[in-house]
């Protein structure tokens, strides 16, 4: 077992079209519905090195020049690897001229330290 990690990704682009393209690469449409399944795009642009376990979720829809989503992993190392792969993908897209560039990229990473407190709403109804 590893240590659980999760974070939030914010990517800002100069052009709305670039944000739209990256959003589409990270989500897949099947039968008219969007699914978050970026592995095929990573493999397409990075080769077999891009294959692996990605856990991207809660994409914000239709944001002007931004792509925002969350990511997580049961292992800190995999969470870091996901962000390394994402930055590699963005660099390849810029190099190939498929997007003009990235204005700013930030990715937070929160690691479970075993500290903290969590309760469900029903826990407050107990006597």
What would the DSSP string read from start to end of 68-109?
EEEEEESSHHHHHHHHHHHHHHHHHHHHTTSS--EEEEEE--
Determine if the pTM surpasses 0.85.
Answer: no
To the nearest whole number, what is the mean pLDDT of the chain? 86
Give the CA angle between residues 78, 82, 86 to the nearest 5°: 165
C-alpha to C-alpha distance for 40 and 82, rounded to whole angstroms? 14
Q: Which residue has the tokens 């690897």?
A: 81
C-alpha to C-alpha distance for 102 and 91, rounded to whole angstroms? 9
Tell me the fold of 5-125.
Answer: Alpha-Beta Plaits (3.30.70)
Q: Which pLDDT tens digit goes with each residue over 92-112?
A: 999 999 999 899 999 999 988
* pLDDT at 36 > cutoff 80: no
- Quick one: pLDDT at residue 59? 84
Spatial CB neighbours of 81, under 8 Å, sequence gap ≥ 6:
52
Q: How far is CA 62 from CA 28, 71, 72, 124, in A?
A: 15, 19, 22, 37
Q: Would you list the domain boundaries of the chain? A: 5-125
- Quick one: pLDDT at residue 30? 66
């Amino acid at each position: 077992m590893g240590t659980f990690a999760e974070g939030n990704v914010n990517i800002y682009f100069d052009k709305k079209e670039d944000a739209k393209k990256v959003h589409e690469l990270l989500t897949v449409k099947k039968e008219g519905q969007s699914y978050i399944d970026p592995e095929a795009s990573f493999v397409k642009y990075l080769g077999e090195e891009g294959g692996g376990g990605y856990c991207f979720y809660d994409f914000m829809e239709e944001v002007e020049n931004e792509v925002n989503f969350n990511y997580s992993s049961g292992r800190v190392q995999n969470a870091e690897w996901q962000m390394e792969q994402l930055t590699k993908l963005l660099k390849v897209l810029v190099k190939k001229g498929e997007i003009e560039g990235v204005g700013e990229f930030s990715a937070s990473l929160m690691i479970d330290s075993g500290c903290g407190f969590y309760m469900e709403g029903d826990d407050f109804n107990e006597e």
